[in-house]
Each structure stands twice: as structure tokens, then as C-alpha cells.
Structure 1
Amino acid sequence: MKKALTVYFLLINFYITAQPISRTFELRYFTSDPAANGETDFKGETEWFNTEGRVQFLNEYANFASRYFDNPELDKEIVTEEEIGDLVRKMKPQPGTKIRQTIPLNGWKTYGYKKGQDIQNEKELEFWNNIPGARIINDKLELRNTTIKKEFGPLNWRFKLECKVMVAGNSQVTFKLKGEDKTAVSLALNKEELNTEGSELVIEGDMTQKRFNCYVNGKLIHDFALMTDTTVTAISAFSVSVSGNGFIDDLFLFNHVLQDNANYPYYSQVILDEDFEEKPAIEGWQSVYFDDSHWKKSDLPAVHGGLREKEESFYLRKKQYVGEFERAFLQIETLDPGGEVWINNEVVAVVNNRHPQEIEVTRFLNKNQENLFAVKVNPYKLNFPMPHTPTDHHIGWFLGRTKLELTSKCRIKSVVATTRELGEEAIQAHKVILQYPTRNFFEGSIEINYYPWFPEEGERVASFSREIKVRPRIAHEFHFDIPVPSPGLWSPESPNLYRVETILKDKEGNPVDDFVTTTGIRTVKQANGHLYINGKAEMLNGAQIMGFRTPIETTSKYNRCAPLETVAEEMLMIKKMNANMLRVHVHAEKDTVDGINDPRYAEFADQMGIYLIWSTAGFIREGEAWNVDFEGYPKFMKQVINHPSIVLWEASNHPNRFKLHDISETHDYIKKIYQTISDADQSRLISPTSFWQHTHYANYDGTLDYQGNSITAVPEYMAALNTRGSQDAYTGYGADWSRLRNAPNDWAASCLAANDKAYFNFEHEESAGQPNWELCKGKPWYLIHSYEWDYDKGSVGRRLTLDEWRASQAWQAFSAWESMKKQMLLGYDGFSWCCLRGGANMGTYQKPLIDNLRHPKLAYYTNKMVFQKTWAASNNVDVVYGPEDEVIPFVHHLGKKKQVDLFVELQTPEGKTIEKKSFENIQLPEGRGIVQLEKFRFKKMKDGVYVIKYELKNSK
């Protein structure tokens, strides 16, 4: 038995040591030409390739890398519907209270309406009812042995037609798209293709290619097939013929029109949008007796918007039984951009901003009765569109999650929990705000309890109690420090969460109110030039979202309020990339307050172990910095402040007008924004701007301005929580390789040399990678070059054509790896790629790591490769190795102390091994660092492209 156990443990040990810690590769050209000696640029001052040589190199890179990453056709989806659904189901809902009654208000009836729609709708329904053999029944159009036809203006570029279809028995339905008295598309469908409950039919037409796609219930049954008559130049009518008995519903025709604008290459039009339902007016909508039986059902958050619902106010109604209470409050995450709140036919609030709302509704509620809650959300349209904005400016308006809280007269208004110290026990600091709106003091006690909550729930591990006196009327703030023994710390590797229960008791010890939140025990600091989480060196590596997602018809609607499945999808995309950070960077406008404050992202991140850079809805993208919502920013912070995943507050992206004014504007803004945020929270880092070079400050400690003059920065500039960083695109925007070879830039060099604060690259590279065009045939963005196309000239030497999309992805991936590798060598502490997924610029934005349809580009994989904790590579960005050039390997390590072996292998792109080299027993100290290894030269080989593979394993 002992011998068997020994063999077993030997096998386990062998398995552990045999498994690679990491694998990386680099593509290099080897030549006998002495002109290539030294650090050779891909394109730049020391270049060796000519333009066509660079393109050929990129083709070799694409062919090898796509095989290396097990996606040779670059056609795999990174996330599936099953994975998204599984994550949504596994997400643990936030715990509720036991003493106060907290009632989540879900199951609303919703309705969109604008003045005059009822009259217009009557005319449209009359048109359909007057067709012989057609009638509207049960909100569907019934067709019996008849043909309906609808004419419209010519569709001469791209369009989408969709509807629901149902046939009875052996009936058949035929769809035809016509133009110039000819049939361009003809589709006959019967019960073999359609199910009896109704099927969803989608036709995507492309008049430039004279082809179309057809989907039935999401299945592609005609894959970019030639049209029936390819001489048709424009579609001007469609018809539906039914032999027998059939129904159609939800008929929608969406047209796209090409225009000469690189940022907005086409705009969209709603040609037809018919659900065959009546559209009654909304007089008395807030009344208890109003008939809302025709309204739709929805949970919160609920959103309205986009071209299909433009200019409609969004109405919501909810009936809720309410029992006994002393005080009652509506907690509304946001009413965006504003609107009205009614209870029992009385206005309780008119809201004119996006701030979180706490509305006392005590006097409006009827006890022990059913009460009507009614909300109107005002429609919205962009005031200052930015270049990435969709041409549909009707950005969605919505009601965030809402709950009713029934409390005692003396109540707990809020609880903030942060970590003050870590050790054998954690010291948790609490700010508890109590409110007692009477003439006298409230005397009693506060009890605070900690329970493990995620991933597993457990018994109470810490408890604290203290007698208190609550002053009358005012919001009375108390501060308590509580030790938590043997804390389970929150980190991406171990996202431990606690349920924090705060109980208010009266003098006799009877509970009268409680407040429940979840949080994690963790600290965030910057020192010695690094970021530290829980006292250990860390990086923030990931990407940002922008809020633009396809399909085009809902891009605007869901910009600020995405479906829950979309939130899950984006978090999975980050997690699968070896990334540990998401920059929540949703925006659609410039020069004005924008952004989101969606707690769902934080709830996912808490449980998944993902850091968040959080901007709130008080953030601005560009323009004058004073447009930040200074009043709202702390309110948004309070809403999400207990989420440990949020590690950095970002006030603005790149306000860019400081230098139009004197230096006082820089001084005053930095002072005000830092004080605004730090007054509300001292537990996270603060980024007043993610592009410091736009300010007057030109070096790390603010002793020089951008003109080289001596200055004195405000004290807040050097405050402990204030970050350093920028948007350093060494290979982006068409830069040549020389910029990367000569990195860092002056600003970054000053900050890195200080070896004090962490330094983050908040947006980087900004290089474009064309999508796999085969995967988007029939979509409106098919074969459209991005406004970024000219970047190729500076980086590669000429524009890459549409059939060179693989080379385009290779450039994005190759430059990403080489640039991020060098920046890590320089000491950068994190990266946020702009951006994670496609959708901006009407789907033509090509910088994202993932295309519009969930397919990762090669750069997604090279980001994943560089985000490994421990990996090896060469220590420069030499692209072409001359006869005297040597490989100088290094190991980048982040984490616990370990000993590793490095195996370096030179191969042809086809996989033939030329030479091997190994380095044994490499000591990697705990923390973050670079270990340089002995340089070497491979044996002489034929001129050409070769692959250098690096593999790290634990030493035996």
C-alpha cells in the first residue's frame, strides 16, 4: 500500500511539473544581411522590410498564429448562448433584509406612446383590414387564400425584413421582394419549414452583392444566395401570398442607406413596423382604474428607445400590496434621463437627472391595501453626438431597478464598509448613517455582523455592538471599526464575499430596523511604482466596453441599459481572455455628462473576480472638464460603494481643452474632482483624467508645465490615491515602429522613473483589425472599410485590402503583443484595450478585440497571451534578426515565489524544429518583476520567417 501511494504521489508530482506554466511565441525574420543587425523596426527608421515584405510577414503571422491559437479559420465564437445562460442562472441574488420589509418591484406593465399615435395607428390597421381575404384577429393578420402587398421608397443598398409566420395544415406562404416590376427574392414556406406555434422569418438583403440571407427560427436556410433576378437594382415592394390559411405578425422592415462619411458610413430607416395591435391613448395612465391589459410585462431595468420607439414616452405601472409600516421609501437606481413618479394617482416626484433616487412615500401609500406605482420616463435624443455614435440618436431611456422599503421611524439610511487594515484579522471600517425625523433623540444600539456569503454561506464570523443616541431630524453619521478574524480576502483568484448585517435596536434591545449589504475584504494601494491589492503586487489587465453592440436596430436602445444576458456575455469575454479587469466606459456623447452606473456589472464582477475601473454616470468623455457632474458623482459612488470589484474611480476620459485656458483651470479641476471623490471614498484609487497630457502638468510631480516652465501643482495632484497613466498608443493611429522602439514617451518616462505611483495605460495601441468578412455576409457593415483604414499606411506602408483581412488582424495582434511586452518591461501596471467588442461606428469600428458577432480576432489571443501571470519572451522589439543579433530572453512574473525552467524552440512556420535551448532553475521572487536571462544566438539557418516558442514549466 505504501509503495502504491508513493507511485501515486510521484505521478501527481510529475504531472504538476510537466504541465507548462505558460506558452508564448514570437515571429521573427532571420537574414544573413548585416544591414539587419541591431534593433530593426517593422516600419520606421531602422526598417529592413519593404512594404510587400511586411505584408508577406503579416500573412505568415496570421497563418501561424491562427493555428497556434486553435482557430485556423478565425471563425469561432468566444462565448455561446449556453454559457451566457449558465452564468446568469449561477449569479447569486443580493440578500434581503429580515426586519425592515424590502420589496423588489418587478413585474411591471409597460407601454410606449407619443401624442397622436392612436389616430395614426387606426389608419394603419384600417389599411390591412381592408385587404380582401385579410383581417386582424387577436393582434395578428390572418390571410386566407390572398395576397397582400406593400409598396415603399426604393431600397437600393442593404435592408432587413423580419416577421412572425404561422400556417395551418397544408397551407403555404410565399414572400416576394420586388422592384422594377421584377421579383428579386421569392421564398415559399410551408409546415415543413414553419412550426405551428409560429416561426420567426428574417431576410437580409444586399443589393450591392445581389444576394440575401434567410433565417427561420435563427437557422440559416439560404446562405447569401443569389437573388432570383439579379438585374433588379432596388426593392420597392414586398408581397405575402397565402394558399390556405396563415397568419403574420410583427412585420418589420429596416433599411440602410450608404453615405459618404467615414465615421457614419450609413444611416438606417424604419420603413415598416407593424405589430397589428391597437395603440390606445394614455389619458388617465396613472389612475388605479386605468385599463392596462394591452400593456406588455417587464422586469426592471426596463428600457425604451431607438428608431422604432423614438420620441415615445415610456410608461410603467405596478400594483403592490403594502402592509403595516411607519415609514416608506422608494429606492430607484436611476430614472434616465428623467420623468415622473406617481403613487395612487398622485405625483410623488418629478425627476430631472440620472441620479439615484431615494423618495420618501410614506404619506402616499395606503396601508394593508394594494397600491398603484406608476412611472413615466421621458424620451431622449443625443445633444452632442461623438464620432463613434450610431446614426440613430435616440439613446435608450429607462427605469432602473426599483424597490420599496418599509422601515421603522428611526431607520438606517446607509452603510459603507471598507477595509482599513489587513493581518491575522482585518479591521473593517463602517460608516453608518441613521435618521430619526422627530423632535427627540432615539436611544438604542447598533449591531453589525459578518457572515461568509460567497462562494459559500457560513455562520457568523464577527459581531460588534455599541449603544448609540441618534440626533433628531438630521442624518446622523456614526463610524465603527470591527475586527474580522482570519478573513477570506477578495481577489480575482478568490472572490470571497461577506454578508454584512447592520441591526438597529431600541433601548430594550428589540430590533427595529436592519440594513443588509455584501462586500469583500480587500485593500487597494499604489507604492514603489506598482499597484498593490491586499498588499500584493498586481496589474489591471483587460479591456473597456463602449456600449455599442449589434444588431444595428437595437444599438442605440441598449447603449446605456443592456439586457442582463449582454452584461453576462461581456464579463465572460473578459474572463476568457486571462484578463482581470473591465473598464466600464459606456458613452455616446461628447462635451457633456455621459456614462453608466449599472450595479449589475459590479454584482457580476464581485462574484466572478474581475476588477472594475468605474466611471459612474457623472463622467465625461471629452471637452471641458467642468462638465463632470460634481453633484451627482458622489451619489453614484454611494450606490455601488460596497462592491470590492471596483478598485478605481474614473472621473473623465480625456477632457481636452485645458490648454485653451491658463493653468488655474488645471489646478482648480484637479483640486475639485479629487476632493469630490476622496471625500466620499478613501479606499480606492482616483483617476481625474485618463489622459494627463491634456492638462498643463507635464511631469510626474507637477513641477513643469507643457511649455517647460517651472510650476507648483496643487497638493491633490500628489495625493496618495491619485493615479498616473495615460493613453499611450505606441503602435496605434498609424505610428511607425520607431515610436515603440524608443518608448517610453516623455510623460510616461517621468512617471515610471519616479518609481512611486502605479502607471496605467487606460487606452492603448488603437490599431485596426478587419473582421473575417465571410462571417458577416448580409450584414450592413459587410465589406465596409473603417475610418481607421489609413492607419495601415503609417504602420504597414499601404492600405490593406478587404481580401487581406487576415494580414490586418495579424498586424493588430503582432503589434499588440510586442507593444504590451515592451510596456511591461518598462513597468506599466495595466492595460485597457479600446475596446472589447465591435458595434461602434455603425458596426464598422475595427479596433475591438472581438467582432460584431462574438468572433475573437487574433489580437484577443495575443492579449490573452500577455495577460498570463508568468511568461517568457525576448527583451526587445527587433523584428528582423541580422547575423550578429542575439536572442535575449526574459521572464515576466507576477505572483508567489517559484522556480521554473524555460524551454526555447526555433521552428519553421510549418512546425519543423530547427534548434532547442533550455534554462533551468530560474528563481522568480515573490511579487512582480523581470528576470533577464543569458543571451544566445541560434545557429545559422536559411533566410526566412521563423517561430520562436517559449515554454515555462515548474522546475522538478
Structure 2
Amino acid sequence: MKGRIFLCLLLCPFMMKAQKSQTFEMRYFTSDVKANGETDFHGETEWMDTEQRVDFLNKYADYASKYWGNPQLDKPLLTDEEVKDVVGGLKPQPLTNVRRTIRLSEWRAYGFHPDKMKKQQESWRAWNTAKSASIEDGALKVNHACVERVIPDMDWRFRFKTHISRYTSNCNISFYHQDCVAITVEIADNSVKASSGNQTSTGKIKSNENLEMEIYGDFPSRRFFVTINDEMAIECPIDATIESGINKLSFDSKMGEMILDDILLFSFEENKKNKHTPFYSKLLLDDDFEKICSIEGWQELSYDDSCWKKVNLPSVHGGLREQEESYYLRKKIFIEDFGRAVLKLETLDPGGEVWINGQPVAVINDRHPVNLDVTSYVKRNSENVIAVRVKPYKAQHLMLHSPSDPYIGWQLGRSELILTNRCMIKDVFVQTDCLGEEALLSNQIVLQYAGVEYYNGSVEINYYPWFPSEGEKVASLKQDVEVRPSIDNKFIVKLPVRSPQLWMPGRPFLYKVEVILRDEKDNLVDDYVTTTGIRTIEQKNGNLYINNQVEMLNGAQILGYRYPIETVAKTNRCVPDETVVKDLLMIKEMDANMLRIHVHAEKDTIDGINDPRYAEYADQLGVYLLWQTAGWVREGESWNVDFEGYPQYMKQVYNHPSIVMWEASNHPNRFKKHDVSDSNDYMERIYHCISSVDTSRLISPTSFWQHTHYGNYDGTLDYKGKAMIPSKVLMEKMMTRGNQDAYTGYGSKWSDLRKAPYEWVASCIGANEKAFFNFEHEESAAQPNWELARKEPWYKVQSYEWEYEENSIGRKLDASEWRASQAFQAFAAWESMKKQILLGYDGFSWCSLESGANMFTYQKPLVDAFGVPKLAFYANKQVFGRIWAASENVDVVYGPDDFITPVIFNLGEECKVDLEVRLKNENGKIIDSKRIKNIQVNAGRSITRLSSFRFKKQYEGCCFIEYVIDKH
């Protein structure tokens, strides 16, 4: 109940209409006539020199961080408890009443490789170097002895972890350089002491308590840290006399006993030759001291799986710790009598085997959704075992954002066993055809009969309110059907729903759709239940319309690289429920409405995810999704899209109203290596591939249209300006236009923003027909708050894009200037996105929401690895407001002849407002103000330009202009 209440509170603010809007801009005021006109921050019309620009950014950071309520830039957006509460408040998908839908939870799982036993034996021999040391009961026991272990050289950064279940005073863990002790951690009854040469530090611990100990060493920074039970205990310098390097580890309990388990050692090794992967992870030790289980007969019901761990689906295996291991999963279940049994797996990624009761059912060699008729394999009124082996995976085409660990996680998705009749409802696909006083819903029902004759009966379709609260039936229709044997029989049922409750981000209303199959005598045969929302999507007059209202798609994308770094590869395609929800909540915290699913680890090959949890949770939380599917490609040849699998992935998530766009590829970039037919042929192939399944959502063939041959909106000119004949599908009503435009990113000077838009963009916006999206804008990089990352291998490791600051700012900002770095990202983001909205862009996806790419050195993300927002997060939140005011242009320095021309952007209802424009100094004190009353603001997507003015009071230096809108 607590989670449900928290979810309702979360949604409430989005159901209220904001009465006040506040935004601010930073400007420099001067009496110098050279600053007259539209002045660049750094570019052709610049006025400030480099150090003035850096001072400008420092003042921006100080003001903005206080203005947005995070002065130290160290406050996370969400607590773990808040996220868990929302997860607990989400409603599971409803179950059926006629068929038995068994959600297969609580599996047993085990990872195994044929060399696993051999590697363990070698490791155990290395630990048994002391007579008084032994491996017993799943742990390493060191009794009045010292155990030493030679390890490969570590000379940069490392992380050591272990569980200590018993210890007596004066036990210690030491790391050696050659035969000299470099680092020692000594444990006493209620204290811990760290030392290195003459350097020592002490801390308190609770006595007689199991200890989860972590030692993190950092030779470049000459310090190491000791963490006990997830709490920082000690930070200690590494003595200047100690050389940078470790090659031996010891556990010493000569005066008593120490019992250790789960010993893990990662070395992080610098790679100065690779700016995209500036360091890599290396696994040196990984011992849990548990005996290896035999997997002989793992498919059989009689197999003893008690030594396997318990897991819920989806469940993932992978990363360096589990490299090359097949992932075995088993589920025992008692099954009563039935007519037909179907096993449904969301994915078996990247493939594997399915067994039932010791018999092989299928060998899977792709990531497509799995639907297996297992009627002949399942024993009625008996206990059965479903056994699955997931093949290990190793990325072959890592791209520049990928981690150094190539063992991208392999997984078994959520699974169901359907027990029903020989004639069954295979699928139901729902879409909204039109809206009015009643909504017309198109319901495609797929029936399948495993018989040899025709099957006659009827289908009944019913709609019920389901979320946020359930209600009585609101629409119903019954229709006779004649089902042909063996094939899929598709029936379209048009059903009106009176006074429909529409799905939208501010009010995510969902219906339960129930389809009931009866035989000729009206006996219940089967049923199918799904949830959906009533909403429509159009693009016309140069705008996007959702539910017949002008809308924008504003938000950010996820890349799939998650903290901590040790598991960043394992969890790339499969994260816990809490992570899915946290992604969506962070979008809502930003006053955004869209998340772009953009998970990938490879180039030149199919990648991405098709995780239905994102759609299910976004339906309830009210977030639009740009959906990639697992048939999507990042770059390379567009023909590598999984054209066969793409429709299957679409059908798996078809009924979710949160999905508003199908995205086939990110930026395939080789069109221009071929002739014009390559662009045309791809567009036709992908359009027909997607539209054959769905014509109700937007279709994005590529998010980077300028890689194609097309040089203008309708494709009648190529990129060189020559006439060409485009494919007719370019003008199909659901085909989008968009690009990845970064006017202040990649080292661009401010002049590019002042001169925006690009020629091709101007052609698309000027056509005033389709919507135009900035699918991936990366305005600039911003260093994180380094203090929060002291115990991480990316500490003060600069991004591969660091050098871009020389063009955009005038010089690179060092690690001590991280706040200024964040200031430029936020300042540029606001000015660039503001201008793009005024030009007519219909949405943005920042790259990216979360940190983790490039071994956590990718610095463009809006939120750091620990969930702490950067200044640009708040700048995005400011520009995503439904109504806001700002200056008309991107002039950075106001000269004596410059005027402020306020504009009001509105996305919503017609209203009257008052606008107050306040001039503040860097301390937040109001210097001057101007108030404009009774401004008429038009409905839809409108821009209201007001009369230009100058503040009466003159000022020299940095100022902040605050725009406050009060609605009547």
C-alpha cells in the first residue's frame, strides 16, 4: 500500500496546472560599443577573452547551483527508498480467468564452463601455501598463520573485496611491492588501522560483526581507502617512499584465526594509447570457495539443484567474473490437466536450448521472443521441470562507448506457461483509430487451432478501467468467428469506447482489454488479457500531435552502462526493476516526458534491447518511449538491421501506449559510400517492415538523416544539391524527420549556434508538414563532482572530448574547474535548446541520461554514476517547461545599444499572463526589473514576442536575468 500511495503522490503534480514559471539567463553587461549586436560566447563576434569566459562560467556555476537548490552539486535526485516505493506501487499485468497463465518465477540458476573445476583447483592450491591454512565449509580459514598469494603486477588502481566472518585481534591484510609491505589493513576488536610506510590512519568498527571489507588503492593519487560494510572507515596516504606497484597479497592471523570468503580483486590498468577506453578492468582473483556442482543430467527432473542459486526473471549472467560460462536455469512445476501448453520466453539472449523433462524442445540462435508449443513434452497431473541453457556471449564489434569487458551479459527473460484449449487466442493487438466523444479502438485478434477441421465459435471483447484504479466494464462487443486449422487467423474488431479516458504523461490512464473465446455452444474455451491506453499520434502542420493536441518529445536516452564498473558489461542489456524505474523517474524529475531506449555495446551488428518492463512501467508512470527493439543497429551498414526479427519484437510490446515511435537504427553511416539506390532501398525496406505491423506510431528509419543521400526535406535533392528521385515512402504520413544536431558540441564555436539552423534542418522545418526531432543532441561534456568519485578508477580521468573545450571555451578546464565545466554544459544547453525550440524543433533526446560509457569517462550525461544531477540536468528541466520566457536570441554580452526582446513559449492552453523580468547581480540581489501585464498567450504551440526594452539601471559585469510568468 505504501508504494501505491507514493506512486499516486508522484503522479499528482503532473495532473496540476502550473500557475508560475521561472527561468533565468546569464548575460554580461558592458558599455563597450564593440559588444553591440549578437555576441558570441567564443566565436566570430566574441567580446570576452578566455579567462573572462572562465570567470563567467564560475559565476554561472555558483549562481545556478544555488538557484536550483543543489549548491554543492552533491545531492542525488532520488533515494533508494523512493525508487523501491515506486516499484512496490506498480501494478503487475492482470491474469486470465479461463486459460491458466503461470508466471514462471523462482528459478534455480548456475553458471558453468568445462574449465571451471580446473581453474578452481589451481586457485585453491595457490591459497594452501601455509600448513595452518585450509579451505573448509566454503571459506578460507587462516589459523595462527600467514597465507601469501603472488598476483600479477598492479601499478595504477585496484579494488579488493572480501567477507570476513570471524577474526581475532591483530589480523591483517597486506599488499606488497616485491617483498616490501606497501599497504596494510589491520583489524582489531573494534577498530581498523591502515598503514603505508610511516603513514597511518585508524577507524572504528563494530566488534564481533561480520565484515564486508573493501580496499581501494589509487597509486596516481597516492592514497587508499578502506570501507567496512559499505561505510567509509579510513582514507590513508600511500607513503612517498613506497613505489607504485603491488605483486603480492597476504592474510596474516599469527595470533589467532581469520575466516575469509568471497575474495575478489580487480586491477584497473591505464591505457594511454586509447582515449576512448583510457583504462581497462582485469580480474585477478575471484574465489567463493564453494565446491563446483556437476551439471551432468541438469535437464532431468531428478537432478539435485540444491546448490544452485535462486533467481527471478529476467536473470542475467556475464562480465569478466562469469566469462565463457553457460547459464543454466531450472524450474520445477506441478501441472494439472490441459488441452494445449505454450511456453513463452521474452528472450533467450543471445540463444541457447530449451528442455522439458529431459527432452530437447528447441535450440534458439537469436534473441527473438520465443513461443513454443510444448503440449507433447509436458506431463499432465505431474511435476515437470523446464530447463534452459543460455549461451555465453562475447562482443565482437565493440564500439567507442563500450566497456573494456567484452562479456556483455546473456540472459533469460521473463517467462510464462500458458495452459489452454487446442483452439486458442494467440495474440491481441490494440490501437486507437480516432478520438471524439467516443474513441474507436481497432482490435486485431489472432486465433490458432491445432486441429484438422474448421472451428466455429465466437469472440467477445471487453474494456475495463484498470490504472490507476479498476472499474466496471465500459465497452463490449461479441462476434462470430470461423477458425481455419493450423494457420494464424486474424480478425479485426472495431469497438467504440464512449467518453474515453485518454493516456498521456500527466494522466496515464490504462484499460484492461479482455478477449474471450467461446465454442458453438457458448462454452468458455480461452481468454486473453492485456492492458493498453487510448491515445493517437499524428504529425501535421510541422508539429507533433498526441491525442489531437500539439506535443513535444523531450527527454534523454539511456546507453545501458551502469554503476558499478565491475558489472558494467553484465548488466548492459538486463537491469533490475529498480534501475528501470529510476530511469523513468529521473526523466519525470527533469519535467521531461520522453525516454529514448538506446542501449547498445556494439557497432556494425544488431544490438539494443526489447525489454517489455520499460514499456509496462512507462505506461503507469506516464513517460513516452522512443523504442529501438533488439533488431536495431548503431552504425555501419543499414542492411544489418534484423528485418526478420523487428516485427516480432514490435508485436511483443505493441499494446503499450507509452511507445510512440519505432526506431530502426541510430546512425548507419555508409549510405554515401554507395549510390542513391542504397538510401532509397533501405527506406522502402524498413518502412514496409515496420508498417506491415503498425501504422499508428511514428517510424524513424535512422536518427541521423544527414548520413543518407537526401539533401532536402522531400529528397528531391541529394546532399550535393543535385536533383534525385526519392523513394515515395519518405512522404508516408508516419515517417519522421530528424537528426543529431549539436550546435555547441564537439568543439563548435558559438557562431554555429548564432547562425542556426543548418540548411537541411531549415528545409525540413520550413516545409511545415512533418515534425522534426533532434534525436540525439550532445551539447558538450561536463566533468562530474570529482569528490564523489574518489574511490573509483575514473577519478579525474578526462573525457576523450576534453580537447573540444579549446574551441568552445578557449582552453581546456582542468579537474579543479569541474564546476565551470558543468556551467558551460548547462549554459550552452539552455541557449541552444531554447533557440531550437524557437526555430521549430519538436523534441530532444540528450545523450545521455546516465553515466557509464567509456569506462565512466564519458562526461556528457546529465546525471553522474551515483545519481547526482549536473547543472545541465536543471537547464534541461528549465527548457522543458510547458510555458517559459526568455530572450529572443543567444547574445551573450549586451553592449550599450543592445535591447532585450522577451519571448514567451507556450505548449498548451490559451491563457493570459503577467511577465516580470528581473535583473540580478551574482549575489542574487535585484538591480532592476520590468513588469508586463495582461499578455495574451495563444493555445497549442505558440511563441509570443514582446516589445524590446533596456533596463534603466546601468551595470558593468555578469548579471542574471530572471523571467517570472504568473498565469491569471
Query: Which TM-score band (shorter chain)?
Result: over 0.9
Which one of 875, 894, 903 corresponds to residue 890 of structure 1? 903
C-alpha distance in structure 2 between counterparts of 1:364 and 1:317, whole Å:
15
State the partner residue of 1:541: 554
3-state SS of paired residue (1:362): coil
Where do 5+ consecutive residues of structure 1 fail to align? 1-15
Give the CA deviation at 1:950.
0.7
Q: Does 1:50 align with 2:61?
A: no
Q: Would you say how many aligned residue pairs link Structure 1 and Structure 2?
A: 937
Q: Does 1:210 align with 2:222?
A: yes
Which one of 168, 175, 178 corresponds to residue 177 of structure 1? 175
Q: Does 1:63 align with 2:74?
A: no
State the partner residue of 2:655: 642
Deviations 1:443-499 (A, max 9, x none): 111011111111111111111111111112211000001111111110000000111
C-alpha distance in structure 2 between counterparts of 1:410 and 1:321, whole Å:
23
Which one of 440, 443, 456 corresponds to residue 443 of structure 1? 456
Deviations 1:520-563 (A, max 9, x none): 00001111111111000111000000011221110000001112
State the partner residue of 2:939: 926
Percent identity for Structure 1 against Structure 2: 54
Farther off after superposition, 339-348 or 207-216: 207-216
3-state SS of paired residue (2:801): helix
C-alpha distance in structure 1 between counterparts of 2:786 and 2:540, whole Å:
46
State the partner residue of 2:120: 121
State the partner residue of 1:239: 250
Deviations 1:775-803 (A, max 9, x none): 11121001111100111011011111111
Q: Which amino acid aligns with 2:121?
A: E
Q: Does 1:375 align with 2:374?
A: no
3-state SS of paired residue (2:948): coil
User: Over the residues paired in the alignment, what is the CA RMSD in angstroms?
Assistant: 1.5
Aligned ranges 1:845-856 → 2 under 5 Å: 845-856=858-869
Aligned ranges 1:655-734 → 2 under 5 Å: 655-734=668-747
- Report if aligned partners of 1:183, 1:229 keep a CA contact under 8 Å in 2: no
Which one of 289, 293, 296 corresponds to residue 306 of structure 2? 293
Q: Which amino acid aligns with 1:575?
A: K
State the partner residue of 2:359: 346
- Report if aligned partners of 2:128, 2:147 keep a CA contact under 8 Å in 1: no
C-alpha distance in structure 1 between counterparts of 2:756 and 2:425, whole Å:
53
Which one of 186, 189, 210 corresponds to residue 188 of structure 1? 186
Deviations 1:728-751 (A, max 9, x none): 111110000111001110111001
Deviations 1:702-723 (A, max 9, x none): 1111121112211110000000
Aligned ranges 1:499-898 → 2 under 5 Å: 499-898=512-911
C-alpha distance in structure 2 between counterparts of 1:507 and 1:718, whole Å:
47
C-alpha distance in structure 1 between counterparts of 2:121 and 2:286, whole Å:
14
Deviations 1:649-687 (A, max 9, x none): 000011111111111111111011001101100110000
3-state SS of paired residue (1:919): strand
Deviations 1:152-204 (A, max 9, x none): 12211000000111226x65532222224333322233453257562311111
3-state SS of paired residue (1:775): helix
State the partner residue of 1:79: 78
State the partner residue of 1:952: 965
Q: Which amino acid aligns with 1:221?
A: A
- Report if aligned partners of 2:698, 2:736 keep a CA contact under 8 Å in 1: yes
C-alpha distance in structure 2 between counterparts of 1:184 and 1:74, whole Å:
35
- Report if aligned partners of 2:174, 2:182 keep a CA contact under 8 Å in 1: yes
State the partner residue of 2:195: none
C-alpha distance in structure 2 between counterparts of 1:750 and 1:262, whole Å:
37
Q: Which amino acid aligns with 2:483?
A: V
State the partner residue of 2:400: 387
State the partner residue of 1:7: none
Which one of 462, 465, 468 corresponds to residue 481 of structure 2? 468
- Report if aligned partners of 1:167, 1:194 keep a CA contact under 8 Å in 2: no
Farther off after superposition, 851-860 or 678-687: 851-860
C-alpha distance in structure 2 between counterparts of 1:329 and 1:647, whole Å:
30
- Report if aligned partners of 1:184, 1:229 keep a CA contact under 8 Å in 2: no
Deviations 1:820-843 (A, max 9, x none): 000010011000000001100011
Which one of 307, 314, 319 corresponds to residue 327 of structure 2? 314
State the partner residue of 2:149: 150
Q: Which amino acid aligns with 1:566?
A: T
- Report if aligned partners of 1:183, 1:228 keep a CA contact under 8 Å in 2: no
Decide whether aligned partners of structure 1 residues 197 and 516 sit closer, same or farther in structure 2, where only a CA change above 3 A counts. Answer: farther
C-alpha distance in structure 1 between counterparts of 2:780 and 2:430, whole Å:
41
Q: Which amino acid aligns with 1:119?
A: K
Q: Which amino acid aligns with 2:80?
A: E
Which one of 255, 260, 264 corresponds to residue 248 of structure 1? 260
C-alpha distance in structure 2 between counterparts of 1:719 and 1:591, whole Å:
28
Farther off after superposition, 182-191 or 590-599: 182-191
Which one of 416, 435, 451 corresponds to residue 403 of structure 1? 416
Decide whether aligned partners of structure 1 residues 166 and 173 sit closer, same or farther in structure 2, where only a CA change above 3 A counts. Answer: farther
- Report if aligned partners of 2:928, 2:953 keep a CA contact under 8 Å in 1: no
C-alpha distance in structure 2 between counterparts of 1:141 and 1:454, whole Å:
53
Q: Which amino acid aligns with 2:54?
A: V
C-alpha distance in structure 2 between counterparts of 1:109 and 1:359, whole Å:
21
C-alpha distance in structure 2 between counterparts of 1:830 and 1:743, whole Å:
16
Deviations 1:588-620 (A, max 9, x none): 111110100001111110000000000100000
C-alpha distance in structure 1 between counterparts of 2:236 and 2:470, whole Å:
55
3-state SS of paired residue (1:164): strand
Q: Which amino acid aligns with 2:940?
A: G
Farther off after superposition, 528-537 or 850-859: 850-859
Farther off after superposition, 192-201 or 443-452: 192-201
C-alpha distance in structure 2 between counterparts of 1:471 and 1:837, whole Å:
50
- Report if aligned partners of 2:901, 2:948 keep a CA contact under 8 Å in 1: yes
Q: Which amino acid aligns with 2:67?
A: Y
Decide whether aligned partners of structure 1 residues 20 and 237 sit closer, same or farther in structure 2, where only a CA change above 3 A counts. Answer: farther
3-state SS of paired residue (2:503): coil
C-alpha distance in structure 1 between counterparts of 2:115 and 2:257, whole Å:
34
C-alpha distance in structure 1 between counterparts of 2:728 and 2:457, whole Å:
42
C-alpha distance in structure 1 between counterparts of 2:19 and 2:456, whole Å:
63
3-state SS of paired residue (1:787): coil
3-state SS of paired residue (2:825): helix
Decide whether aligned partners of structure 1 residues 666 and 203 sit closer, same or farther in structure 2, where only a CA change above 3 A counts. Answer: same
Q: Which amino acid aligns with 2:145?
A: T
- Report if aligned partners of 2:177, 2:243 keep a CA contact under 8 Å in 1: yes
3-state SS of paired residue (1:680): coil
TM-score (norm 1): 0.96
C-alpha distance in structure 2 between counterparts of 1:219 and 1:62, whole Å:
30
C-alpha distance in structure 1 between counterparts of 2:662 and 2:713, whole Å:
20
C-alpha distance in structure 1 between counterparts of 2:697 and 2:672, whole Å:
29
Give the CA deviation at 1:230.
5.2
C-alpha distance in structure 2 between counterparts of 1:510 and 1:140, whole Å:
61
Q: Which amino acid aligns with 1:598?
A: D
Give the CA deviation at 1:946.
0.6
- Report if aligned partners of 1:165, 1:194 keep a CA contact under 8 Å in 2: no
C-alpha distance in structure 2 between counterparts of 1:293 and 1:775, whole Å:
41
3-state SS of paired residue (1:364): coil
Give the CA deviation at 1:74.
1.0
C-alpha distance in structure 1 between counterparts of 2:76 and 2:486, whole Å:
57
Q: Which amino acid aligns with 2:42?
A: K
State the partner residue of 1:329: 342
Deviations 1:842-883 (A, max 9, x none): 110011111122111110110011111111110100000000
